[in-house]
Structures are given as structure tokens and as C-alpha cells.
Amino acid sequence: MIEEIYPRSFGDSNGDGVGDLNGITQHLDYLQTLGIDAIWIAPMYPSPQVDFGYDIADYERVDPQYGSLADFDALLRAAKKHHIRIILDMVLNHTSDRHAWFVESASSRDNPKADWYVWNDGVAAGAPGVTAFQKRFEHDGKVPPNNWESVFGGSAWEWVPARRQFYYHRFYRQQPDLNWRNPAVEHAMFGAMRFWLDRGVAGFRLDAISTLFEDPQLRNDPQRPGTNAQGDPNLSTRYSDNLPEVHDVIRRMRAMVDKYPGDRVLIGETYTADVADLDTWYGGSRRDELQLPMNMLPGFGWRAKFDAGWFRKTLEGAQTVPGQPLIVFDNHDNPRSIDRFGDGRHDVQRAKAIATLLLTSRATALTYYGAPLGMTTATPARKEDVRDPIGITGWPKEKGRDGERTPMQWTPGPQAGFSTNPRTWLPVNPNHVTVNVQTELAEPGSLLNWYRKLIALRRSNPALRDGDMTFLDRTDPDVLVYRRGGAHPVTVLVNFSGMPQKVKTGIVQRAVRTLAATDPALANTTTLDGATLPAYATWIVTPAK
Ligand code: NOJ
């Protein structure tokens, strides 16, 4: 089980209101008690924090607000004692505009780093085919060379007077895209990865990995109907995303990483439209690219809903990928799953069902800090409180990602035990009075204890660890039933409905022993005959001897 940690929000050791590396070190006991094998730490490198760390100004140091390299090494050592490995976030697509490489690159057209970023002269504002959108970004009679848009709104091209040229930025304008067609860029970035591998990190989560390359001809992305939250035309990203060249880079990267001992891992931020598209990220039949491209479909697919049929389809789909699946329901870019899958009344019960899917599927499980507690999304109510720039430019349609990044809730006390400073960088969610580690550890029926139970079961049970996954009922609209195979198979039953559901006994062995159940009444039930699953209940059983 991997947990993503947002370092600004996990633990504040020095009382400045912002989380830091020592704050993670201080909470390793909790992570170990929960059963976490590895943590992925969102970027903690020096950064102007425009995109809260995803704009990196130096790949080989720690941002002073998070600590020092010595603190990082201390965290690595302490984590090792807790049997927890550390995975770093590696942002290869772009740097900060304050990175020394970009400062040099932007200074003239003929400096040594002139070709490290994606520069273009633009086209005359009156040239044929120039769109109204491009015209909005005119400088000195020149407009961007095409209609490409920043994910965060507006044109993806920014004018630099010193070069009288535009540079390309898929994300904020403070995040210029590196030019991966220049071998010096690959050399430098692989060097940065080696810097951390040499220190002992277990691998990387590769940010925005599908976007390293752009069409050399800079063709316009096809337009789709309507406008996005920022008011710009909707586009398909045919010419600015998923170019095949990225796979050559990943293959070389994997070969580089594989030279290190101790099973280092490459995880990819791979949003795909279809599960079959994950195949190329594993490297197809060669399997020489990412070990763990993220399967975002069960959790974030655009049709995702709290529904047995949806999860049957997407979790079955996850079994068709050529390598080990990696399932994700929560991250720092999306409202928390407890809110997306909740109905406002049975949110914790539903979150237990999601936890069951995450931890009993044949897949590596990735969770996000606070998800095992049921921390909820606390989106700012007023524009002036928003910190994420996309929420400022997109307000009110797009309120940004602050809601899923609020401080970790450790205790019912001041600042939820996150910080001694009442001015935390984002407000602490008032629900910390009940939703917090201390309180939930003491409640046998809490979501946190359900996570702990499932993780412990998964670690100790060979079928849940390695067994294949077979769906036993293909049609039931309310109940999902699947078996994890092996010498001692395990059957998982999850009721997705708000009504009790009778177990269909034709499909599973009847005499059973309960391994885990959300409802105490099920725990002592020894047969599936006549058994009923209460609303939203999970029941995990194995054949009685
Ligand atoms: C994906 C990251 O998860 C997101 O937080 C970030 O804004 C973009 N990539 C740009 O790095």
C-alpha cells in the first residue's frame, strides 16, 4: 500500500503553518501502524510554489520551507526503520520559470541553454488561419503559433520580449515546458533522478508524463464543442499530448533505474480514456517502461459513480492490463472520493466500500493522506480565500484544488494537531473534532480501523496478495461478488445499495469463516445460506475448513 503525502499538509514540525519533512518523520509511527509500505511525497524541491511545488527551481535540493537535505536523509533513515520506502515526485515536463536553466534560456536566442525549452517566433496576427483565441495573445503584431491551450487556462504560449519569441507552457506560464528533443535535457533530468536514487529513494511518480513531447509541426489541436471552465474553446489534445516519442525516453529511463539494486519503481501519472491505453505505458509486450502506470478509471472515470455495475466493469477491466494494476481513488488534484462517491448521509459506509475495492482487488493500492480517516473536501467558499491559481482564474466554475489539500487531522485539538500555529496555510477543516486519527483509532468501527484491518488482512493473506480475481456475479445491480483465488480462496461481497440484500448462494461456497466484515452481525455468520448483507456492508469470507 502506497500513501501519497502532500508535504505542505501532513505535519508542521516548526510551527510556521506549513508542513515539512520533519513533520513526516514525526508521524512515521502512524504510517507504520496503518500498514503503509511506501510513501510518495509530492514535490518538496525549491520552488516559488506557484503550483505548490510542481514548479521546480532546483531538482537537487529541498525547499527551505520543507527542511534541508539533511532532514531528507534523516527521513529516509527513519522511514527505513519503519519499513517504509520513499518515492519522490519527478516533474520532467516543465520546470519553474525561476529555474536557472530557464532564466538563461529566456535571456537571449543564442545562450548555451537557448534550446532547452520550446521556443517559437509565433505568426503574424493577420496570417491566414489564425483563430480569435490566438489573437487574444498578440504581442508586437505576433500571435502564438497555434491554438494550444494551457491546462490551467488561456494560451499555452507566453511572449518573452528579450527573445521576441513565445515559449510553450502546458501548465501555468510559470511552468515552461522543457524541450525533450534536445538530448541535453534528458541528460540533465536523468542526472537529477540519479541524485535521489543514489541517496536511496525507492523510485518516482512521474508527473504529467504523457506530455513531454509536442508535435514538431505545431498543428492546431482539433476543436470540440463548447468551452471549458476558463471560458476557452474545448480542444482534443491530439498534437500536444501522448506523442509516441515519450516511450523511447521512458525505456531509457527504466534501463537507467533498473541498474540500481532493490526494486526501484516508476509510477506514471497516466490518465487514459480507456483501460487498453495503459498497455503502452507498461511497454506493451516488452514491459520495459513503467511498472505502475496509474489506472484512474475506476476512481476518476468520467462516468464513475457509486454503483456495483461501474466497479464490476472497471475493476474487471483493470485485470486485463499486461502488468500489475495500480488503482487510485484519491489524489491532490481531485475532490476527495468520500465526497465524490458519498450521498451526504452514508458517506463513511460508502467510503468503507471504496476501501474494500482498493484493498481487496488484485492491484497495488494507492491512497492519499487523510483518505483512510474520511477527511472531506473543504473547498473555499470565497474567491479571496483560494490559494490554487486555477481556482482564482476559473472562479466560480473552477474553484481549484485547495479543498483536497487541507491540513492532516491528527487530533480533535487546536489545528487538529497539524501545527502549533493557528495560521495554517489552508484552514483546518472544522470536522477535525470528530474526523481525526486519535479519535478514530479508539473507535473499533471507524473508517481508519477498517483500513487498518483490510491492510493487515491483505498483508497476511496469500489469496488477497497474489491470487487472481474473478467476478462471480455478472449481473447483480446492487452487490459485487468476487473471488481472489489460490489454495485458500477469499470471497468479497460488497453491497452498493442502501437496502439489505440477500446473498445469492448459488455462486459461492456456503460454509464460511469471516475474515472481515463492516457489520458485527456478519462476523459470526458461518453460512451464506439465507444470509443478508446490510446496506452498504462488506463481507470478506473464506471457505470454512
Ligand atoms: C499533475 C499534478 O498532479 C498537478 O498537481 C500539477 O498541477 C500538474 N501535473 C502540473 O505539474
Instruction: Encode pLDDT of 377-427 as tens digits.
Output: 999 999 999 999 999 989 999 999 999 999 999 999 999 999 999 999 999
What pLDDT, on the 0 to 100 scale, is given for residue 509? 66
List the domains of the chain with CATH numbers. Answer: 2-94+183-452 (3.20.20.80), 468-543 (2.60.40.1180)
Of the chain, the percentage scoring pLDDT greater than 70 comes to: 99
Residue 344 pLDDT greater than 70, yes or no: yes
* Mean pLDDT, range 221-229, rounded to an integer: 94
* Mean pLDDT, range 215-235, rounded to an integer: 94
Compute the radius of gyration of the chain from its Cα atoms: 24
Distance 335 CA to ligand 1 centre (A): 14
**Among 20, 269, 330, 476, the one annotated catalytic:** 269
Alpha-carbon gap, residue 482 to 494, rounded angstroms = 9
Residue 506 pLDDT greater than 80, yes or no: no
Instruction: Encode pLDDT of 236-279 as tens digits.
Output: 999 999 999 999 999 999 999 999 999 999 999 999 999 999 99
Q: By three-state DSSP, how is residue 119 classified?
A: strand
Alpha-carbon gap, residue 51 to 60, rounded angstroms = 18
Distance 353 CA to ligand 1 centre (A): 28
pTM, two decimals, is 0.97
Average pLDDT, the chain: 96
Site to probe by mutation for ligand 1, drawn from 54, 331, 388 as the one with most ligand atoms within 8 Å of Cβ, is 54
DSSP state at residue 101? H
Helix axis angle, 447-460 to 347-360, nearest 10°: 10
Alpha-carbon gap, residue 397 to 209, rounded angstroms = 27
Which residue has the least CA distance to atom 2 on ligand 1?
A: 207
What pLDDT, on the 0 to 100 scale, is given for residue 508? 63
Distance 497 CA to ligand 1 centre (A): 35
Distance 539 CA to ligand 1 centre (A): 37
Distance 21 CA to ligand 1 centre (A): 20
Distance 421 CA to ligand 1 centre (A): 28
Of 286, 273, 281, nearest in space to 247 by CA = 281
What pLDDT, on the 0 to 100 scale, is given for residue 365? 98
Comparing 191-205, 328-342, 510-524, the range with the smallest average pLDDT is 510-524
Atom number of ligand 1 nearest to Cα 152: 7
Which residue has the least CA distance to atom 5 on ligand 1?
A: 333
* Mean pLDDT, range 349-368, rounded to an integer: 98
Q: By three-state DSSP, how is residue 339 classified?
A: helix
pLDDT band at 128 (very low <50, low <70, confident <90, very high): very high
Of the chain, the percentage scoring pLDDT greater than 90 comes to: 94
Atom number of ligand 1 nearest to Cα 390: 7
Residue 545 pLDDT greater than 90, yes or no: no
Confirm if 265 and 2 have CB atoms less than 8 A apart. no
Of 505, 542, 313, 543, nearest in space to 533 by CA = 505
Instruction: Encode pLDDT of 93-107 as tens digits.
Output: 999 999 999 999 999
Q: Write down the residue that cell numbers 519533512 correspond to.
A: 21
Residue 170 pLDDT greater than 80, yes or no: yes
Site to probe by mutation for ligand 1, drawn from 171, 388, 401, 404 as the one with most ligand atoms within 8 Å of Cβ, is 171
138 is catalytic: no
Which residue has the least CA distance to atom 9 on ligand 1?
A: 208
Distance 515 CA to ligand 1 centre (A): 39
Distance 88 CA to ligand 1 centre (A): 14
* Mean pLDDT, range 464-474, rounded to an integer: 94
Atom number of ligand 1 nearest to Cα 94: 11
440 is catalytic: no
CB under 8 Å, gap of 24 or more: what pairs does 216-222 form? 216/181, 218/120, 218/145, 218/146, 218/148, 219/146, 220/129, 220/131, 220/146, 220/147, 220/148, 221/146, 221/147, 221/148, 221/149
Q: What angle do CA 173, 249, 170 make, to 5 degrees?
A: 15
What pLDDT, on the 0 to 100 scale, is given for residue 299? 97
What pLDDT, on the 0 to 100 scale, is given for residue 381? 96
* 538-543 sheet: strands from edge to edge: 469-471, 479-484, 490-495, 538-543, 512-517
Which residue has the least CA distance to atom 11 on ligand 1?
A: 54
Residue 505 pLDDT greater than 80, yes or no: no
Atom number of ligand 1 nearest to Cα 54: 11
Q: What angle do CA 161, 163, 169 make, to 5 degrees?
A: 85
Alpha-carbon gap, residue 65 to 61, rounded angstroms = 12
Site to probe by mutation for ligand 1, drawn from 333, 401, 404 as the one with most ligand atoms within 8 Å of Cβ, is 333
Ligand 1 binding site (Cβ under 6 Å of any ligand atom): 51, 54, 91, 171, 207-208, 269, 332-333
Residue 510 pLDDT greater than 90, yes or no: no
Site to probe by mutation for ligand 1, drawn from 41, 47, 51, 388 as the one with most ligand atoms within 8 Å of Cβ, is 51
What b/e string do you get for 35-69 counting C-beta neighbours within 10 Å, with b at 16 or more? bbbbbbbbbbbbbbbbbbbbbbbbbeebbebbbee
* Mean pLDDT, range 167-195, rounded to an integer: 98
Atom number of ligand 1 nearest to Cα 170: 10
Atom number of ligand 1 nearest to Cα 208: 9
Distance 452 CA to ligand 1 centre (A): 29
pLDDT band at 507 (very low <50, low <70, confident <90, very high): low
Q: Across-strand partners of 513?
A: 542
Atom number of ligand 1 nearest to Cα 401: 5
**Among 51, 97, 149, 207, the one annotated catalytic:** 207
